[in-house]
Chains A and B, each alone.
Chain A
Amino acid sequence: MTLARLLIPPLVSGGLFGAGLTLSGMTDPARVRGFLDLFGDWDPTLAFVMAGAVLVMAVAWRIRARMPRPIFGEKFSLPDRTDLDPKLLTGSALFGVGWGIAGLCPGPAVASLALSPGAVLPFVGAMLAGMVLHALPQQRSFRRLFQGS
């Protein structure tokens, strides 16, 4: 596959995504926290964002069902897990806490690197550190350290 086929669709997708987040005010932590402030001064904007995005994607999933393969790729690589495990719940619960504290989730945080780099860099850096921390116990060298073998 050529470089252009690998690079351009994700780049355009990311660009549209970042544009959508910024246009809808989702890069503003106050607006996101306003949505989560259900018992205070509630701001329903995020619900409109989710509705718009889910609407388009619901159509896309229907189109995908009729496609043998993606337009620019050889095959679909989609999650197929259906089991519910404690990790899904614990992880999502944790994520919600961090989301509520800062009013930022990964998409808006990365997009905001172009808007307020100084303010969001500590968040993005710590987010990467958190991802590394989560990956550590799965590393073979780390396991060996604790199993003493």
Chain B
Amino acid sequence: MIEAFPNALPLQGLLGGLLIGLASAMMLLGAGRIAGVSGITARATRLSGGDMSMTSAWGFLVGLPLGAAIIALSTEWRPAEYASWPVMVVAGLIVGIGTRMGSGCTSGHGVCGVSRFSQRSLIATSTFMITGIATVFILSRLGSPS
């Protein structure tokens, strides 16, 4: 625990991050690909080209909820709270368009690209961090439900 941030989970965060790194490393060294969730989703739904097989794309996407379920069942996991469905729809639409236009999201740019010191990914990651912070700042001033 960090005294200044009583809600932070530094150990779980680091451990989860190592697992995410291991997952991405497995994709890179095993399959020779980037573990980018938005790109793989577009590939699985045939919205983008590329030479990744449907079997591999769907395998990765099905693995995500499977891994989540294993942790939820084996730890003291509590359900999270989400925004109302209309807000989720608006946010989802923006995320869908934005990640395709920007060629990646937190996994592809944020983890795989940044660790490779890719200039494009460093710029993409700084950009979505800044607009994410600005969005939360503005919404909190407006007193919106989080």
A70 touches B92 (CB 8 A): no
Chain A positions 6-56 with a Cβ under 8 Å from a chain B Cβ: 6-31, 33-34, 36-56
Q: Which of B19, B22, B80, B92 contacts A98 (CB 8 A)?
A: B92
In this assembly, does A145 line the interface, its C-beta being within 8 Å of a C-beta of chain B? no
Contacts of B127 in A (CB 8 A): 88-89, 92-93, 96
Closest A residue to B42 by beta carbon equals A131
A17 touches B5 (CB 8 A): no
* Total count of chain B residues near the partner, CB < 8 A: 114
> Provided the pairs A24-B17, A36-B133, A49-B14 are in contact, do residues A116 and B82 lie with their beta carbons within 8 angstroms?
yes
Secondary structure type dominating chain B contacts: helix
Contacts of B107 in A (CB 8 A): 17, 105-107
Secondary structure type dominating chain A contacts: helix
| Interface pairs A-B: 5 shortest CB-CB | A130-B96, A14-B63, A52-B17, A24-B16, A91-B102
Interface residues of B (CB under 8 A from A): 2, 5, 7-10, 12-35, 37-38, 41-42, 45, 47-48, 50-53, 55-57, 59-72, 75, 77, 79-83, 85, 87-103, 105-107, 109-116, 118-120, 123-125, 127-137, 139-140, 146
Q: A14-B59, A133-B96 are in contact. List 4 more A-B contacts (CB 8 A).
A: A27-B68, A47-B13, A115-B77, A129-B92
Interface residues of A (CB under 8 A from B): 3, 6-31, 33-34, 36-61, 63-64, 67, 69-79, 81-84, 87-107, 109-116, 119-120, 122-135
